[in-house]
Each structure stands twice: as structure tokens, then as C-alpha cells.
């Protein structure tokens, strides 16, 4: 050990010299000055002391006070200064990849080093770190994966878990595992960081760990609710009629026709009530009539536009941050604003977006200050609420909604709905406006709606399906998933856990005794949803790797097909050109991608995308994810280096369909023909209307979502024989390289007449496999 010790000591000295050189250089001094101005700096010594004396410390403080960029850096600097730099290894987790990347870049700039030296990052399928990296920012998912392979976190000295107030599933999961680890690693330091003040909850969870609050300073922000906003902007509510509120008006109407019995949620009723009453009496009856048609679940783009115009024309200088529900809305609004005479004028408005899937170059721009007389407007998701701080914001426009997945354990259905945020979020959003001077916040909902918001948002663990999570828990060699999860801050329902275990058994990741199968072991290390992971493995084994690779990548990125508000019909037609023949959204993805590759070779990729309503950025993202998945599977030995052997059967449509089916099972519905229309029936739901007629008896689907009405996302028609052969727990004996097909789970759908056909087909397949 002493040789190693000497090497590390030498390296530590070098680190100290470098750090001092930087801090004494002119730029270094300037940077230190800025850093010293952050509220966290005043608490530096107290923080370092608390961390030295306690195994767990909980730290809270206003967003922007310097938790993420400063605290891990303080620890690093003090280790380096004391000549122990090379001996420490600090990990700081972030809930989102983009913040891990942005923050690591910022910290390396603050240290005057290139990224990937002392400071690095690691996110799913990407990273920048080297042998000299001692401070690593990663997603919480990455740290979890690391814990799966090394339960003691050997070599790690400090773990910071950031943004715990968000109560993300991975963070809650991490806390269970770390809590279990602490007694075995007495020297390990755990620091929890949170923006809002529910620090006590976490302190109690860790047996009364000390909490430190960093007092921050923010300027007062004036809140305006919808009532005031209408007054200020002079916006006439009649135009709510004209807007295609987030494009959901149609769905809303459909829902009214389909499910008139469905009770409106409480807040919706409240809004309608409020809008039809006193505060709006000053508007004429025509307006009030139109209000009753307004879908308060949606915020009109035109209203946002009106508020932005008001700010640009009448208000003092300062950047504007608009909180919206998701990437689709952001890009639609951006397109709308681009054609506005004032807001779309690049000499007057610097329009930017901020969301989880934006490119790194765009990321940097949101921190830049615009030239004088140009107003910066950032359209953002709730990512800008706490994890990213844009300094020059003076105005906030808050739509009051965020897209969150909720999970209905009873119906085993995830729902992705823009839903009202919590009071804590609304306050947080408002606070974003007061960082540099007094600010203004425009909430685009009535005050009474705010009053009805929940205090805090429900933890993610209680509102999402637990499939992936349970698989990971299993690979921790935990005997009982239920018991493990009962140690969570707020344990999920037993039913939700049961559903997940059933699902994992059904896809063959767990055996009957709930032990991980070979397939399960593979799936737990593949950085994708278990269903998609299984599809990839099956694609490789059945020699149709290329198309499946495209499908899985596309499903993990997002739909490359664009649906512009004003050209929905045209876009729909464009998309159907790709899928009409096959009745498969998945084959459409393959075709769109391959068409793009061909067009690229001919130098006409841009026109191709334009003509077909495809997003070049998304296609590019799919392309790079493809490469990464391909690399991982090669690395795991599932794909030969010579890919042609893996693609011998890529042109066999039925086989590709079959592999899609094997991955998406048990997401399957039967197609029931009626006289005039068709319906489909999923395993646990009643019939739902199907708009197209399809010549297949079954549909496999990626997701069943409740968005007003239950509908299927990304589906592919399949035949009886495909379902029988591939829809089930096909167990892949990966190690021995042979296939074993299991029966079972298909009884549900099985027509007795098909039994015979099934046996015959199975026999044939076995012959093929044995060859």
C-alpha cells in the first residue's frame, strides 16, 4: 500500500499547487470574488465543520445560494488545501442529466480547469471524467447503478444527494440504500441538499441528523393572479375561444362525449365557478359565455403572448422566465412567438428555451446576458424551478401546471397529465424573479386556484409504476422487494409493488420465486426501460438488430414526428404515409429514420425532414443513442462486432413485428370488430374506441395512457401466431446462448382453436433454434 500512498501524496501536492496558482491568477481572483459573494460562502466553515463531525448533514437554502456548485467544491478545496486531494472522491447526484452536465461544467470553469480533469460528470450513456477526477456530478440513477455493482461504494469519501425536496423516485431509493450502507462505512459522509424548508423530514429519517440552513437574500416579488393579469394586459377573454388551448380542446370535447359521467376534478370546478362569478362581472355577458367553454385545464398561448407583449412594451428591463408544461408546448409557443412582430424580432427579443432534452450549446445561452435593449425570454419546463438558476430574471410567467406522471395502481395505468403544481412549486417559481432586483410574477390562474393547490407534491415513488425500480432492487440481492421499500421515507402501496413484481414475472425477468432470471440480470444493467431492454436483446438474438435498435432508440428519445398546431392534418397525413401499409407506429419510426439516413447521403436531409414533418434534432439524437446502445450490446457480447450477422433477418417484417411484440408484451389489446367501428380491449380495461380499421386481430402497444380518455401510444398490429410465439415470458438463456420458450401467460388471450397451431409453431421454432 505504501507505494500507492506515495503516488497519491505526490499527486495531492500537485493538486494543491495547481489550485493555489489558479486562485492567485487574475481570472482566478475574479472568480473567487464572485464565489465569495454567494450566500453559501458565509456558512463555509460551519458547513465543513458539520460535515467533518457528522456522518449525515442536511442542508437547505434558497435556490441560487450556492449549494450545488459551492458545497461539494468547498469539500474538494479543503481536502486539496490540506494536501489530501488525491485521497478524496466526492460524488454529487442530480435528478436530471442536464443539471449534472451544466453544473460540472460550471464548477470546472470556477476552478479554471477543463471539464473531465478534477471535476467531471457521468450521466446515462455519456460522461466526461478521467483518472484525475475527484469530484463527479452524476444523475442519481448513475449512483444507483454503481451501488448495484459495488454495495459499499469503495473509495468514495463523500456523497452529496442534491434536490431531495423534489422527492424523485431515484433519490428516495438512494436514501434507502445509503441509509443501509452508513453503518458499514463509518468513514463515508452523506450530505443531503434541499431547496425548500422540509429539512426536518430528512433529518428525522437519518435519526436526527443536524440541519444547516443557508440564509439567502432575495428581493420581494409581486404576485399577480389571473384576475390582475387580465386587468394589466387588457386581455379580452373572448379570445380563449379562438385558441386551441395547448391543442387539447379536441380531446376535451371527445372526453365529454365519451365519458359524460366522469366527475370534474375539484380545482377545475373551482376555476369555473370563480370565473363565472364576481371577479369577472365587469366583463360583458358575451365574455362570460365564452368562459364556460374555456377549458381551464389548459392555458392559452395567446394569453402568454399578451403578457409577454405587456412586459416588453411597458415594463422595466429584465429577463423573463415562462414556466410551461413540456417540450411540445414550449416548441409550439416558440413557433407562435417567432411570427409575432415584436416578440419575434431578434433585434428586440432574445428567445430561448430550457428543457430536459435541449442541446448543450443552447444550455449555455440561457446564462448569457443579452445585449442592452434586447429582452431575454426563456420558455422553460419546471426544470428552471430549482435546478437551474438564471440570474437576470425579473419577470416570471407561471402557467401553474407541470406535466407529471401519476400512477393509478388500481388500474395499473400511468397517466401523463399536465396537472396543477403545488403551493411550494408556485412559490418557488415566483421566487425566480427576485434574484437581482424586485420582480413580478404573473400567475395565469385565479387566486382561488392557488389556494386550492396541495402544499407539496406527492413523492414520485407514490405516483409512478415501479417496474424498473423493482428490477434494480432485485439486483441488490434483496429478498423481499416489499420489505425493502417499506424502509422508504414514504413507502409505496403494496398493490403498486405487486403489480411491478407481476409485470417482471410476466416478461420473464423474475422467475416464479421472484428471483432474477438471466434475462432479468441483463435488463437490470441495461440503461433502458425493461421492456425496451428486452426488445433489444431479442432483436440481437433473432438477427434483426438494426430496425429494433432504431425503434428502441426512438422510444427512449421522443417521437421524431412533429405535430405543429396549425398544420395538424398535414402532419398527420405525412406520418401516416410511413405507417399506413403496416399498421405500425414502430415500423413508421424505422422507415422515417432510414429515409432520413438515405436523404442525408444525398445531401437532402433538411428537405426530407421539412416535407415529412420530422424533427432533424430528434433524428440526430436517435442516431447517437443508436450508436451508444449498439456499443453497450457489443460490449456485453450480445451483438457480434461484425453487425451483418445480426442483421441477416432485418428485412423480415413479420419477425420484426414479432420482436416488437415480445418487448411490449403484456401491453396488448384485442381488436374487436363492430358493425361501423372497431374497439380494442386491453387486459384490464373496458373497450375503447379505435378510429382506424386494421386487418390485425391484436395490437401491441408501448404505453397505455390516461389523457382524458385511455388511449394507446405507439402501437403495432400483430397476428395470432406472433402473439402466441412471442407474447409471453420468452426466457433468454443469454449465457449459454440458447433460447427457451415458456408457455403460460397467453391463456388469457388464447383461442382454444389456436392451441394446436401454437404447438406446431413452437415445435418448428424449436427446430430452428436447435440448428
> Is residue 497 packed enough to be buried (19+ CB in 10 Å), middle (13-18) or exposed (0-12)?
buried
Q: Take residue 218 and report the three cell numbers written for it.
A: 432575495
Minimal distance, residue 162 CB to ligand ADP, in Å: 7
- Of 63-71, 400-408, 655-663, 731-739, the segment contacting Mg ion by CB under 5 A is 63-71
Report the site for Mg ion in 403-442 (rule: CB under 5 A): none
70 binds, among Mg ion, ligand ADP, none (CB under 5 to 8 A by kind): ligand ADP
Evaluate whether 443 touches 226 at the Cβ level (below 8 Å).
Answer: yes
Instruction: Output 202 or 445, the one with its CB closest to Mg ion.
Output: 202
The reply to whether 192 sits near ligand ADP by the rule CB under 6 A is no
For residues 327 and 367, which CB has a smaller minimum distance to ligand ADP in the complex? 367
Rounded CA-CA distance 334/353 in Å is: 8
The window from 59-67, 465-473, 528-536, 725-733 that contacts Mg ion (CB under 5 A) reads 59-67
Q: Locate cell 431509493: which residue?
A: 173
Site string for ligand ADP, 321-360 (x = CB under 6 A): ----------------------------------------
3-state secondary structure of 730: strand
CA distance 771 to 766: 9
Min dist CB 595 to ligand ADP, Å, is: 38
Instruction: Work out what residue 391 binds among ligand ADP, Mg ion, none; the CB cut-off runs from 5 to 8 Å by kind.
Output: ligand ADP
Q: For 629, phi and psi rounded to 5 degrees?
A: -60, -45
Shortest Cβ distance from residue 195 to Mg ion (Å)?
Answer: 7
Tell me how far, at minimum, the Cβ of 135 lies from ligand ADP, in Å: 13
Residue 671 backbone dihedrals phi, psi, to 5 degrees: -100, 120
> By CB under 6 A, is residue 41 in contact with ligand ADP?
no
Residue 106 is a binding residue for ligand ADP (CB under 6 A)? yes
DSSP string, 549-618: HHHHHHHHS---B---GGGHHHHHHHHHHHHTTTTBHHHHHHHHHHHHHHHHHTT-HHHHHHHHTB-HHH
Q: How far is the CB of 527 from ligand ADP (least distance, A)?
A: 26
- Nearest residue relative to Mg ion (C-beta): 68
Of 44 and 67, CB closest to Mg ion: 67
**Residue 138 grid cell:** 452524476
Size of the site for ligand ADP (CB under 6 A): 15
Sequence-separated (6 or more) residues with CB below 8 Å from residue 151: 181, 476
Whether the CB-CB separation of 320 and 262 falls below 8 Å is answered with no
Minimal distance, residue 443 CB to ligand ADP, in Å: 22
Q: How far is the CB of 69 from ligand ADP (least distance, A)?
A: 3
Per-residue string for binding with ligand ADP, 383-422, x by CB under 6 A?
------x-x-------------------------------
CA 177 to each of CA 96, 144, 494, 522: distance values in angstroms, whole numbers, following the listed order: 20, 9, 19, 21
Burial of 610 (0-12, 13-18, 19+ CB in 10 A): exposed
Within positions 64 to 123, which residues make up the interface with Mg ion, using CB under 5 A?
67-68
Instruction: Select from ligand ADP, Mg ion, none the partner in contact with residue 296, using the beta carbon and a kind-dependent cut-off of 5 to 8 Å.
Output: none
Q: Which of Mg ion, ligand ADP, none binds 547 (CB below 5-8 Å, type-dependent)?
A: none
From the list Mg ion, ligand ADP, none, pick the one residue 439 interacts with, judged by a Cβ distance below 5 to 8 Å according to partner type: none
For ligand ADP, which residue of 60, 68, 170, 579 counts as binding (CB under 6 A)?
68
Alpha carbons within 13 A on the beta-carbon side of 288: 13
Q: Which of 19, 60, 69, 468 binds ligand ADP (CB under 6 A)?
A: 69
Q: Quick one: 139 exposed, middle or buried, by C-beta within 10 A (0-12, 13-18, 19+)?
A: buried
68 versus 650: smaller Cβ distance to Mg ion: 68
Q: Are strands 413-420 and 401-408 parallel, antiparallel or unpaired?
A: antiparallel
User: Whose Cβ is closer to ligand ADP: residue 264's or residue 369's?
Assistant: 369
Number of alpha carbons in the 13 Å side-chain half-sphere of residue 632:
20
The span of 63-71, 225-233, 396-404, 417-425 binding ligand ADP (CB under 6 A) equals: 63-71
Site for ligand ADP in 42-61 (CB under 6 A): 61
User: Least separation, in Å, of the C-beta of 199 and ligand ADP?
Assistant: 14
Q: Does 38 bind ligand ADP (CB under 6 A)?
A: yes
Question: Of 50, 56, 65, 80, which lies in the binding site for ligand ADP, with binding defined by CB under 6 A?
Answer: 65
Please report, to the nearest 10 degrees, the dihedral formed by the alpha carbons of residues 466, 472, 477, 478 taken in order: -30
Q: Which is nearer to ligand ADP, 61 or 667 (CB)?
A: 61
Quick one: which of 367, 518, 740, 762 contacts ligand ADP (CB under 6 A)?
A: 367
CB of 193 to Mg ion, least distance (A): 7
Task: Report how far residue 158's alpha carbon sits from residue 135's, in angstroms, rounded to the nearest whole number.
Answer: 9
x/- string (CB under 6 A) for ligand ADP, residues 625-644?
Answer: --------------------
| Shortest distance (Å) from residue 173 CB to ligand ADP | 22
β-strands 119-123, 135-139: how paired? parallel
**Distances in Å between the alpha carbon of 269 and those of 240, 292, 293, 294, 336?**
18, 11, 13, 12, 30
Stated as kind and residue range, the H or E segment containing 265 is none
What per-residue string of b and e applies to 193-213 under the rule 16 or more CB within 10 Å gives b? bbbbebbeebbebbeebebbe
Where does this chain bind ligand ADP (CB under 6 A)?
Answer: 38, 61, 63-70, 102, 106, 367, 389, 391
Amino acid at each position: 500500500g505504501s507505494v500507492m500512498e506515495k503516488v497519491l501524496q505526490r499527486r495531492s501536492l500537485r493538486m494543491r499547487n495547481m489550485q493555489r496558482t489558479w486562485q492567485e491568477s487574475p481570472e482566478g481572483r475574479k472568480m473567487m470574488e464572485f464565489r465569495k459573494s454567494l450566500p453559501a460562502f458565509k456558512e463555509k466553515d460551519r458547513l465543513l465543520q458539520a460535515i467533518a463531525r457528522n456522518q449525515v448533514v442536511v442542508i437547505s437554502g434558497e435556490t441560487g445560494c450556492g449549494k450545488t456548485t459551492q458545497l461539494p467544491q468547498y469539500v474538494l478545496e479543503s481536502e486539496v488545501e490540506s494536501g489530501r486531494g488525491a485521497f478524496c472522491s466526492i460524488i454529487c447526484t442530480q435528478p436530471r442529466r442536464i443539471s449534472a452536465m451544466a453544473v460540472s461544467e460550471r464548477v470546472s470553469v470556477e476552478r479554471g480547469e477543463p471539464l473531465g480533469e478534477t471535476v467531471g460528470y457521468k450521466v446515462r450513456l455519456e460522461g466526461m471524467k478521467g483518472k484525475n477526477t475527484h469530484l463527479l456530478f452524476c444523475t442519481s440513477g448513475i449512483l444507483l447503478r454503481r451501488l448495484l455493482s459495488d454495495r459499499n461504494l469503495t473509495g468514495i469519501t463523500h456523497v452529496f444527494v442534491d434536490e431531495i425536496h423534489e422527492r424523485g423516485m431515484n433519490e428516495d431509493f438512494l436514501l434507502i440504500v445509503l441509509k443501509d450502507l452508513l453503518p458499514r462505512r463509518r468513514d463515508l459522509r452523506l450530505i443531503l441538499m434541499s431547496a425548500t424548508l422540509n429539512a426536518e423530514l430528512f433529518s428525522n429519517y437519518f435519526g436526527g441528523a443536524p440541519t444547516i440552513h443557508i440564509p439567502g437574500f432575495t428581493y420581494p416579488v409581486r404576485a399577480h393572479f389571473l384576475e390582475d393579469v387580465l386587468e394589466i394586459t387588457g386581455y379580452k377573454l373572448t379570445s380563449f375561444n379562438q385558441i386551441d388551448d395547448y391543442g387539447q380542446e379536441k380531446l376535451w370535447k371527445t372526453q365529454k362525449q365519451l365519458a359524460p359521467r366522469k366527475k370534474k376534478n375539484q380545482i377545475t370546478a373551482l376555476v369555473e365557478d370563480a370565473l363565472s362569478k364576481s371577479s369577472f362581472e365587469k366583463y360583458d355577458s358575451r365574455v362570460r359565455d365564452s368562459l364556460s367553454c374555456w377549458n381551464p385545464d389548459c392555458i392559452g398561448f395567446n394569453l402568454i403572448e399578451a403578457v409577454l407583449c405587456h412586459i416588453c412594451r411597458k415594463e422595466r428591463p429584465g429577463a423573463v422566465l415562462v414556466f410551461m408544461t413540456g417540450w411540445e408546448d414550449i416548441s409550439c409557443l416558440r413557433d407562435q412567438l417567432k411570427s409575432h412582430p415584436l416578440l419575434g424580432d431578434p433585434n428586440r427579443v432574445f428567445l430561448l428555451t430550457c428543457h430536459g432534452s435541449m442541446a448543450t450549446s443552447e444550455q449555455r445561452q440561457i446564462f448569457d446576458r443579452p445585449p442592452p435593449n434586447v429582452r431575454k425570454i426563456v420558455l422553460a419546463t419546471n426544470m428552471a424551478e430549482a435546478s437551474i438558476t438564471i440570474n437576470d430574471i425579473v419577470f416570471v410567467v407561471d402557467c401553474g401546471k407541470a406535466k407529471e406522471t401519476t400512477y393509478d395502481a388500481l388500474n395499473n395505468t400511468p397517466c401523463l397529465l399536465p396537472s396543477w403544481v403545488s403551493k411550494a412549486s408556485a412559490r418557488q417559481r415566483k421566487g425566480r424573479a427576485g434574484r437581482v432586483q424586485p420582480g413580478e410574477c404573473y400567475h395565469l390562474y385565479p387566486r382561488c386556484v392557488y389556494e386550492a393547490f396541495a402544499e407539496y407534491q406527492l413523492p414520485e415513488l407514490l405516483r409512478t409504476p415501479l417496474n424498473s425500480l423493482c428490477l434494480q432492487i432485485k439486483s441488490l440481492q434483496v429478498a423481499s422487494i416489499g420489505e425493502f421499500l417499506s424502509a422508504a421515507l414514504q413507502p409505496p402501496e403494496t398493490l403498486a409493488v405487486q403489480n411491478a413484481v407481476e409485470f417482471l414475472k410476466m416478461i420473464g425477468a423474475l422467475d416464479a420465486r421472484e428471483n432474477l432470471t438471466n434475462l432479468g440480470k441483463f435488463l437490470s444493467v441495461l440503461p433502458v426501460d425493461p421492456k425496451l431492454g428486452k426488445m433489444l436483446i431479442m432483436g440481437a438474438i433473432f438477427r434483426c438488430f438494426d430496425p429494433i435498435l432504431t425503434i428502441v432508440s426512438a422510444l427512449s428519445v421522443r417521437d421524431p414526428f412533429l405535430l405543429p398546431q396549425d398544420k395538424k392534418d398535414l402532419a398527420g397525413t405525412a406520418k401516416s404515409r410511413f405507417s399506413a401499409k403496416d399498421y405500425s407506429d414502430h415500423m413508421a419510426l424505422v422507415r422515417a429514420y432510414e429515409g432520413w439516413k438515405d436523404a442525408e447521403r444525398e445531401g437532402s436531409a433538411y428537405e426530407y425532414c421539412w416535407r415529412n414533418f420530422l424533427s432533424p434534432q430528434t433524428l440526430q439524437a436517435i442516431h447517437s443513442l443508436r450508436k451508444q446502445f449498439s456499443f453497450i450490446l457489443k460490449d456485453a457480447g450480445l451483438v457480434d462486432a461484425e453487425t451483418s450477422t445480426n442483421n441477416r433477418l432485418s428485412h423480415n417484417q413479420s419477425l420484426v413485428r414479432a420482436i416488437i411484440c415480445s418487448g411490449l408484451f403484456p401491453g396488448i389489446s384485442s381488436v374487436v370488430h363492430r358493425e361501423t367501428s372497431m374497439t380494442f380491449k386491453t387486459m384490464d380495461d373496458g373497450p375503447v374506441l379505435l378510429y382506424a380499421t386494421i386487418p390485425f386481430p391484436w395490437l401491441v402497444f408501448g404505453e397505455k395512457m390516461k389523457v382524458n380518455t385511455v388511449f394507446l401510444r405507439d402501437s403495432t398490429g400483430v397476428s395470432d401466431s406472433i402473439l402466441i410465439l412471442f407474447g409471453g415470458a420468452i426466457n433468454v438463456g443469454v449465457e449459454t446462448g440458447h433460447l427457451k420458450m415458456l408457455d403460460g401467460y397467453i391463456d388469457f388471450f388464447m383461442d382454444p382453436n389456436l392451441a394446436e397451431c401454437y404447438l406446431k409453431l413452437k415445435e418448428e421454432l424449436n427446430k430452428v433454434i436447435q440448428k
